[in-house]
Structure 1
Amino acid sequence: MREHAAVVRGEAVPRHRVDALLKAVPARDRETRPESLARAERQRRRWATQVVVADELARRTCEEQGLAPPEEVSPSQVLEVAGTDVADMGSIVAATLAHSPAARLLLTELEKQQEVPEAAVKDYYDRNRDRYLTPDALRRGVDPFGRPAPADFLPYEQAREGIARELRRAAGRRAFFDWFDQARASVVYAAGHEHPGDPSHPDHEHRH
């Protein structure tokens, strides 16, 4: 069996890194039939390979951009992945950010680079007025879509910073997704380590 799981920019990513991550992250599947369990384990290995490859790509990108290289990641330091993060980002990206200090550093840098126009912040405030009712208005059960008084809402000046931060964070995540898609395009995977959604293998499933 090959000793590498993938080749990133001409350099092999050792298979033992994937094995270590699999050991650190307990299987969630509860299949009991041998064939179903075997399939689940094959998919789990492919999923873990994506996380390890993403960490490798992130570390190299951080070095290229002159960002302070993070400490080597230890599989035993895998953080808990919130269900909301999986829903928002997909299991591979969510697990990568939990597992990889380099990925978190890169995401933070991408968020800093995002420019949010004032018009976009104001538009968000105007379209989501229900999110900016004052505590008093909420206690009184004011309907934000009825006939609320201007005083029932937080002033735009007070809400602006939080909105800009939220929009910048969302833009940073989109930039991270774009980076990941482009960075992994040239990765060559060893047999059994392909992307879980790769239609070239019979067990594929499109579940990010």
Structure 2
Amino acid sequence: MTEHAALVNGEAIARTRVDAFLKTHGPATPLRGAGNCATSHNEPAAARRQTEAPSAARQRRRWATQVVVTDELARRACADRGLEPPTEAPPAKLLTVPEADVADLGSIVAAALANSPAARLLLSALEAEQTVAETAVRDYYDRNPDRFLTPEALRRGVDPFGGATHTDFLPYEAAREGIARELRRAAGRQAFFDWLDQARTGVEYAHGHEHPGDPTHPDHEHRH
């Protein structure tokens, strides 16, 4: 049995890092979503251990490998950028990942961001680099009138697409900053995805540690 879970540009990521992650965070129940094997802690750990099927355990190991590799890639990216992630003690258990984040990010990225200071720092740096054009902010405001009804208009049940007047909407100037922040956040996440896709091209996985959605292994699972 190999001693590494993956090679990142030829450098080994020890299996013990994945084992430690699994030991600390316990079994996980797969949820439907990009990346799969999202975590659920609705049952006591003992119950999850008793009922976990072998195929689920294999998928959990592959999922955990992806989280560990993402953390390692983010550490290296931060070092290349001269960024120093804050030193944090590993959490006693897998931090709760909101289902909305799983849906938006995929469970692997969502879990990596929840548990990796380096991944969070890198995402923040990428977000700060994004430039949002004024035209994009204005276009978003014009195309989504339902998001900018005033509280009074909402109480009256005003239809933003018919019958509303300009007084029923927040002025563009009042909404602009929030829109720009939201678009910058979305652009930062896309930049993170693009970075991760590129960074993963230098990763080779040991047998039993492949991506959970890799169709070359029999237990692959990739649902959206």
Asked if Structure 1 and Structure 2 have the same fold, meaning a TM-score greater than 0.5 normalized by the shorter chain, the answer is yes
Q: Residue 187 of structure 1 is aligned with which of 178, 198, 203?
A: 203
Root-mean-square deviation (CA), in Å?
1.9
2:97 is aligned, of 64, 81, 99, to 81
User: Which runs of 4 or more aligned residues in structure 1 lie more than 4 Å from their structure 2 counterparts after TM superposition?
Assistant: 30-33
Alignment match, 1:44: 60
Q: Any stretches of 5+ residues in structure 1 without a counterpart?
A: none
Following superposition, the deviation at residue 149 of structure 1 comes to 1.3
String of CA shifts for 1:110-131, please: whole Å, max 9, x gaps: 0000111000000000000111
- Aligned pairs for 1:31-180 (under 5 A) are 37-71=53-87, 74=90, 76=92, 78-180=94-196
Residue 21 of structure 1: how far off its partner (Å): 1.2
* 8 A contact 1:47–1:196 mirrored in 2: yes
| TM superposition score normalised by structure 2 | 0.86
The answer to whether the 8 Å contact 1:73/1:99 transfers is no
Q: Give 1:206 deviation, angstroms.
A: 1.6
Number of aligned residues:
206
User: Is the CA contact 1:73–1:100 (under 8 Å) kept in the aligned structure 2?
Assistant: no
| More helix as a share of residues | 1
Alpha-carbon shift at residue 70 of structure 1 (Å)? 3.1
Unaligned runs of 5+ in 2: 30-47
Q: What TM-score does the superposition give when structure 1 sets the normalisation length?
A: 0.93
Bigger drift between 109-118 and 3-12 goes to 3-12
Q: What SS does structure 1 have at the residue aligned with 2:92? A: helix
C-alpha contact 2:158 2:164 (8 A) present in aligned 1:
yes
- Of the structure 1 ranges 198-207 and 120-129, higher mean CA displacement relative to structure 2 is found in 198-207
| Map of 2:16 onto structure 1 | 16
Measured in 1, the distance between the counterparts of 2:27 and 2:143 equals 42
- How far apart, in 1, do the equivalents of 2:176 and 2:207 lie? 50
